[in-house]
Amino acid sequence: MSEEELLAWNKGKPVLEQVYCRKEARTSSRIRKTYCDTVEGWITYNQRSLMALETINSPTNSRFRQYD
């Protein structure tokens, strides 16, 4: 989707329904791809990523427990 098409699509839509695109290189590749989703979709994606990181970093997942 070109920038002009994206601007036309988003015009007049509520913020959460607007489409936002970003380029990123995934871990398995150095090639940057463009990923597009609604703002609401990106918020959900970021919340899930944060929850996954919190799960990984939680003390109950630690292989080495600290004893006081």
Please tell me the predicted confidence (pLDDT) of residue 51. 87
Q: Which helix (H) or strand (E) holds 18?
A: none
Count of domains forming the chain: 1
Considering the domain boundaries, does residue 68 fall inside one?
A: no
Closest CA to 44 of 11, 14, 7, 16: 16
- pLDDT, position 65: 58
What pLDDT does residue 68 have? 54
Q: Would residue 65 count as lying in a domain?
A: no
Report which secondary-structure segment, H or E, holds 28. none
Predicted model pTM: 0.64
Residue 63 lies in a domain: no
How many whole angstroms separate alpha carbon 48 and alpha carbon 65?
A: 26
Whether residue 67 lies inside any domain: the answer is no
Residue 64 falls inside a structural domain: no
pLDDT tens string 13-63? 999 999 999 888 877 778 888 899 999 999 999 999 888 887 777 666 556
Are 21 and 7 a contacting pair, CB within 8 Å? no
What pLDDT shows up at residue 63? 60
